[in-house]
Amino acid sequence: MGLFDFAKDVGKKVFGEDDDPAEKLKDLVESAGIGIKDLGVKFKDGIASLTGTADDPEDVEKAVLITGNVEGVESVEIDEMDSPELDDNIEYYVIKSGDTLSAIAKKFLGDASRYPEIFEANEEVIKDPNLIFPGQKIRIPLD
């Protein structure tokens, strides 16, 4: 399935000095209530590797974004994840300075008022549609 790249220096701060990064990432994904059975997380040199079983490819996409949008995570691997193929009607976008969800919706969906679709597709990593940050990677659900 592959490797997903992220901006290592931006994202949610979850690691403390004495924390086990793999355990913190696992807790973060599990707390989102995503349907991945037997979730396993390894973390080394900025690379998070996820394992487990998912019935829905959307759950894998969400787990990747939750994990990757953490400061210190440079990439996420899902080669060992057992799930159906990821959705071809999803595009990933890295937020740039000055972006808004409305502007992103206009660019990708042709209508700024469709920004709630982008927000809903990313509720695990965007808690408020008015609070997005440069470097954050999100899913764009395409028609």
Give the pLDDT of residue 12.
Answer: 85
pTM, two decimal places: 0.88
**pLDDT tens for each residue of 111-120:** 999 999 999 9
Question: Number of folded domains in the chain?
Answer: 2
Give the pLDDT of residue 7.
Answer: 85
Residues whose CB falls within 8 Å of the CB of residue 109, separated by 6 or more in sequence, listed in order: 117, 118, 140, 142, 143
- Are residues 71 and 137 located together in one domain of the fold? no
**pLDDT tens for each residue of 68-97:** 999 999 999 998 888 888 777 788 999 999
Which domain CATH number covers 11? 3.30.70
Give the pLDDT of residue 30.
Answer: 94
Judged against a pLDDT cut of 70, whether residue 110 lies above it is answered with yes
Distance, in Å, from the CA atom of 88 to the CA atom of 51, rounded to the nearest integer, reads: 21
- Are residues 107 and 76 located together in one domain of the fold? no
Give the pLDDT of residue 114.
Answer: 96
Distance, in Å, from the CA atom of 99 to the CA atom of 101, rounded to the nearest integer, reads: 7
Which domain CATH number covers 108? 3.10.350.10
| 32-to-7, 79, 127 alpha-carbon distances in Å | 21, 22, 12
Judged against a pLDDT cut of 60, whether residue 1 lies above it is answered with no
